[in-house]
Chains A and B, each alone.
Chain A
């Protein structure tokens, strides 16, 4: 008799604790989620860039989601350079054909994959980009060749809306 009573009591307390814990969890979530990107930030997820004035060998930097995006119109030499590299020589093997669908145009996030600095144009041992913070060298395809950065610079989702306009995001 008394044993049964104990069980029932345990069940009551366990149920109370369990239901209480669910409530605490549900209350904590809004306080955490409020720090995630809000609706107005998410709505600004894409940006359009006019690239008509860009001549081969030049790079423009545009702001997208608060980060710099490099848009480079590459010269024939640069393209040839980038395409001739063997994948075995790369720290993060990736074909240039996959990174630049239209070989003349390289669009990538101008953020060093090491710790987030902005690399410098036309610098470094591979004629691509060089990050001054900790010495990472990128080639003309934005791939990491030397230095502490672990991966190539990221290529965002983008498309040509027309011959002169790129839509990023």
Chain B
């Protein structure tokens, strides 16, 4: 794992390390050579780790008081909010923490898209990331069901009904998911079980994600390979640790503002009404972080095709390393891609916006155009762009902003290293 042999100084340390090389691992993590030109968009990896730990710790403590039963779930949440010591604080951190988690993960994903971090040799990191993202969505969805409010209940009903679109076995699968003929107590208890499990799966995948990252090392804003360790890198500790901490603290200020001053703004008022199987709320809207996919789902007039479109919208990301044919990683040197990148960002934000609006009239039209563009970007624009685009000359190293050679040479060097 490490480029250099590490021997603990103390005798006890050496004894332990020979049997279980934890100290070698710790040394690898602290000395890990990191490109020194990483900007603040790179701090979101650390922020996401913080989010995961926060969700796990607050989730564990909430689970000590929560009752996963259709008759008592809503009441137990109120019990947490009113009677449990600091229960209100822990619950608001957990609820808003989910939103903050997604905010951070979207920034993390879009950073990767901008700087081409998904490209060779980092495809595995990227794919693990997509799996983590999918699990996050599953965990968030099931977590939203647990308070057993109106949005919980009807959100669960709508999302599980997506499976009924599958030909032949769809209805059977839905009944199986519910453990009954509607969303009810069996559904709630299994959602609670899975909601408890998934974060630990994510934790395991995060370890793999970081492991896979530490093989080739970090990408960087310039997008060229750096020699490690060299004058282009700094050791992870203290340089990156302190920088990540600084960014994390700024993130926490925003987080704290939500928790303490507008704790319910990201939620939906209807979820403070206890679940009622006889009455559907006027507008069913998923949490904001699922809105773009919700818009894609609704923009397709066919039930099965809508579900397929929504799933494809996520899964297409896994194929991204091969859809993007460009040899250059960073958008900094890809003037055309940079423009398309921002159009994609706008497209996703528009999808999110129309996802929150009623699916009718102009909104529906906009949703359809935006959905079409979303797929167009990945399936047509990216592959073609990589072959046709005239890229800018690339520097030889990140410490030498002045070019070390001609554009062609730089591109060639980059090509060489990515093949390796």
Q: Which residues of B68-108 are within 8 A (CB) of A?
A: 79, 82-87, 89-90
Of listed A34, A38, A40, residue having the most chain B CB within 10 A: A34
Residues of A within 8 A of B90 (CB): 30-31, 34
A30 to B87, CA, bound (A): 8
A40 to B64, CA, bound (A): 15
**Is B406 interfacial (CB-CB < 8 Å)?**
no
**Is B65 interfacial (CB-CB < 8 Å)?**
yes
Nearest residue (CB) in A for B79 is A40
Known: A30-B90, A31-B90. A38 touches B57 (CB 8 A): no
The 3 closest A-B pairs by CB, nearest first: A30-B86, A39-B83, A38-B83
B89 close to A40 (CB less than 8 A) = no
A30 to B90, CA, bound (A): 8
A34 close to B79 (CB less than 8 A) = no
**Is A24 interfacial (CB-CB < 8 Å)?**
no
Given B57, B58, B64, B82, which contacts A35 in the complex, CB threshold below 8 Å? B64
Interface residue SS majority, chain A:
helix
**Is A36 interfacial (CB-CB < 8 Å)?**
yes
B-facing mask of A15-41, CB < 8 A → 1, else 0? 000000000000000110111101111
Size of interface on A: residues with Cβ below 8 Å to B: 10
Residues of A within 8 A of B65 (CB): 34, 38
Residues of B within 8 A of A40 (CB): 79, 82-83
B85 close to A36 (CB less than 8 A) = yes
Residues of B within 8 A of A39 (CB): 82-85
Given contacts A34-B86, A38-B85, 20 further A-B contacts (CB under 8 A): A30-B85, A30-B89, A31-B57, A31-B58, A31-B61, A31-B90, A33-B85, A33-B86, A34-B61, A34-B64, A34-B84, A34-B85, A34-B87, A34-B90, A35-B61, A35-B64, A38-B83, A39-B83, A39-B85, A40-B82
Q: Which residues of B196-243 are within 8 A (CB) of A?
A: none
Q: Which residues of B contact A (CB under 8 A)?
A: 57-58, 61, 64-65, 79, 82-87, 89-90
B84 close to A38 (CB less than 8 A) = yes
- Can you list 10 residue pairs at the A/B interface with Cβ under 8 Å? A30-B85, A30-B89, A31-B61, A31-B86, A33-B86, A34-B64, A35-B64, A38-B87, A39-B83, A40-B82
Interface residue SS majority, chain B:
helix
Residues of B within 8 A of A33 (CB): 85-86
A115 to B82, CA, bound (A): 34
Q: Which residues of A37-81 are within 8 A (CB) of B?
A: 38-41
Residues of A within 8 A of B61 (CB): 31, 34-35
A32 CB, min distance to chain B CBs, angstroms: 9
Q: Which residues of A contact B (CB under 8 A)?
A: 30-31, 33-36, 38-41
A128 CB, min distance to chain B CBs, angstroms: 39
Nearest residue (CB) in B for A42 is B83
Residues of B within 8 A of A36 (CB): 85
A36 to B84, CA, bound (A): 8
Nearest residue (CB) in B for A37 is B85
A31 to B87, CA, bound (A): 9
A133 CB, min distance to chain B CBs, angstroms: 29
B44 CB, min distance to chain A CBs, angstroms: 21
Residues of B within 8 A of A38 (CB): 65, 79, 83-85, 87
A76 CB, min distance to chain B CBs, angstroms: 47
A40 CB, min distance to chain B CBs, angstroms: 4
Nearest residue (CB) in B for A20 is B245
A36 to B65, CA, bound (A): 11
Nearest residue (CB) in B for A29 is B86
Nearest residue (CB) in B for A28 is B57
A33 to B87, CA, bound (A): 9
Nearest residue (CB) in A for B89 is A30
Nearest residue (CB) in B for A39 is B83
A33 to B85, CA, bound (A): 6
Residues of A within 8 A of B57 (CB): 31
Nearest residue (CB) in B for A36 is B85
B160 CB, min distance to chain A CBs, angstroms: 32
A89 CB, min distance to chain B CBs, angstroms: 45
Residues of B within 8 A of A35 (CB): 61, 64
A60 to B223, CA, bound (A): 80
B360 CB, min distance to chain A CBs, angstroms: 45
A142 to B79, CA, bound (A): 38
A33 to B86, CA, bound (A): 7
B119 CB, min distance to chain A CBs, angstroms: 37
A34 to B64, CA, bound (A): 9
Residues of A within 8 A of B89 (CB): 30
Residues of A within 8 A of B86 (CB): 30-31, 33-34
Of listed A30, A36, A40, A41, residue having the most chain B CB within 10 A: A30
A65 to B160, CA, bound (A): 43
B253 CB, min distance to chain A CBs, angstroms: 12
Nearest residue (CB) in A for B60 is A31
